[in-house]
Amino acid sequence: MTPTASRPLVTPVTPEDTPAGPLEKAFLVFAMLGQQGAFSSLLWTLQGRESDSIGESSDPVNVFFVVVTLVGISILFSIRPHLLTRITRYSPLILIACLYALASSLWSEAKLLAFKRAGVHFCTVLVALYLPARLGFDKAARLIAGSILICAVLSFLTGLLVPRVGVMHTIGSYGRWRGIYAHKNPMAQAMGVGVMLQYYIATTSRSKVLPALAVALEVLLVMLANSATVLGIIVIATGAYALFLVATRGGALRPLVVMTLAPLAALFAILIMFEPNLFHAISGRDATLTGRTQLWAWAWQVTQDAPLFGHGFQEFWNSGDPIVGQIWAAIGWQAPNAHNGFLEVALEMGALGVLLVALILLEALVRILGLLRIPASINQMGASLIILAGVIIQSGTEAVLYRQEDIDWFMVVMISFAAASTVKAVDTFRPLSAVNIVERARPLSA
């Protein structure tokens, strides 16, 4: 009999974990707006200044979000210090990565910039850990989905009513929507995550209308941003959720679905393998992935200059190093990053950084798969697996790993901690059977 779950798992809470009030939830929604990069560079856009650089540290709106979030999250942790203890116990790799990012400012060419961005990254991680620690996975997922939906509505209205702000006017991106974001890419990333979370909400709620409308709006914005990668991820996530529903609720339909989809998937893979132009036609990209392959070659060459520790956390492309100008001149456009997750980490944080990120992703996968033994958490497991897979796919063409204020990396941290917290809570509060009591009472020497 396969496990089914119409309701999400409710993590048991201790007496000090009283339900979050409206003020706390409002602050967390505000913090989530900053983590998505919403309103970033808005003042510059209103002044007629255009920039393809995402999340510049001197942006006053971004500074405001970071300062308020850091102060607010510090106050919340001071009110509930047991959450900080729990986070420290469950997330040593994440915290080590934060310390390593801060330490990278010591050998960086732009020390102050690397230190500031590492500090913002630490703020991102704190929010990502606080949400599931305080609310549990289900409520955290719904709060994040709600904040993304708010940004989706505002982005649509901005693009429609104030195109000077909501639509890009730079060479290479002209006419593509960015809404209330600094660039089309972070908007597309946020909408992609929003779609996956709305799928989770639809599978765990009676009402399907609002999730369906939210998905329609978020997919529309991805299309208006002309983000082929995110659109492809949404298509894959949609298929994955369909298979997930069949696997958990399909009954007699399961063998039929597998027999139908498996040959189709194999055929598609063979076609892509022997006819790569088909992929380019489907994705709307050329064989160089819009100039990325040439950029990757240059970025890989530069990583050899600092192979172990890298050039410093998120500072290389804004460091003023002459090699950056040479790369931009060679590829014909000002790339704000390496447009590849692991390559960007190797460039900034070296082999040690790549190892840390790989371990964090592997830990997240193992923790999520650990939810298999908890039938009531099957929906959390399915949603988390699909989100993790989406981030890994996205990292192939975008620098979304180990980043400050990046919704993809934020979700990796959140789902990893939530999975570990769910398993620990169930193990702690599971009633002891008579056999378990006898076994636990048996002497160690027995």
The answer to whether 319 and 311 have CB atoms below 8 angstroms apart is yes
- Selection from 67-81, 172-186, 245-259 with the highest mean pLDDT: 67-81
Mean pLDDT of 412-431: 85
What pLDDT score does 258 carry?
A: 60
Per-residue pLDDT tens digits for 336-374: 889 899 999 999 999 999 999 999 999 999 999 999 888
| pLDDT surpasses 60 at 404 | yes
Half-sphere exposure of 29 (CA within 13 A, CB side): 17
What pLDDT score does 142 carry?
A: 97
Bridge partners of 38, per DSSP, are: 181
Q: Which amino acid is at 48?
A: G
CA 267, CA 398: separation in Å to the nearest integer? Answer: 27
What pLDDT score does 223 carry?
A: 95
The answer to whether 100 and 352 have CB atoms below 8 angstroms apart is yes
What pLDDT score does 72 carry?
A: 95
The answer to whether 46 and 187 have CB atoms below 8 angstroms apart is no
What pLDDT score does 445 carry?
A: 41
What pLDDT score does 304 carry?
A: 92
Q: How many residues does the chain have?
A: 446
Residues with Cβ < 8 Å from 428, sequence gap 6 or more? 12
What pLDDT score does 273 carry?
A: 52
For the chain, domain boundaries: 22-423
What pLDDT score does 245 carry?
A: 83
Residue whose pair of structure tokens reads 């209330």 in the numeric block: 180
CA 128, CA 400: separation in Å to the nearest integer? Answer: 15
| pLDDT surpasses 80 at 12 | no
Phi and psi of 275, rounded to 5°? Answer: -140, 75
Mean pLDDT of 182-193: 93
Complete DSSP assignment for 284-342:
T--TTTTTHHHHHHHHHHHHTTSTTT-S-TTTGGGS--HHHHHHHHHHTS--SS-SSHH
| pLDDT surpasses 70 at 77 | yes
The whole-model pTM stands at 0.85
CA 446, CA 432: separation in Å to the nearest integer? Answer: 20
CA 118, CA 99: separation in Å to the nearest integer? Answer: 8
What pLDDT score does 274 carry?
A: 54
| pLDDT surpasses 90 at 281 | no
- Selection from 169-183, 282-296, 426-440 with the highest mean pLDDT: 169-183
- Which pLDDT band holds residue 254 (cuts at 50, 70, 90)? low
Mean pLDDT of 380-387: 94
Burial (CB count <10 Å: 0-12, 13-18, 19+), residue 37:
buried
Q: Which two tokens mark 420?
A: 């570990």
Bridge partners of 167, per DSSP, are: 177
Angle at 102 between CA 99 and CA 105, to 5 degrees: 145
Residues with Cβ < 8 Å from 446, sequence gap 6 or more? none
Mean pLDDT of 194-214: 94
| pLDDT top residue among 6 and 132 | 132
- Selection from 23-27, 54-58, 228-232 with the highest mean pLDDT: 23-27
Q: Which amino acid is at 293?
A: T
Phi-psi region of 226 (alpha: psi -120 to 50; beta: other; left: phi over 0): left
- To the nearest whole number, what is the mean pLDDT of the chain? 83
Q: How many CB atoms lie within 10 A of CB 194?
A: 28
Q: Which two tokens mark 232?
A: 């492809």
Phi and psi of 237, rounded to 5°? Answer: -65, -40
What pLDDT score does 107 carry?
A: 92
What pLDDT score does 440 carry?
A: 40
| pLDDT surpasses 60 at 3 | no
Burial (CB count <10 Å: 0-12, 13-18, 19+), residue 89:
exposed
What pLDDT score does 213 carry?
A: 96
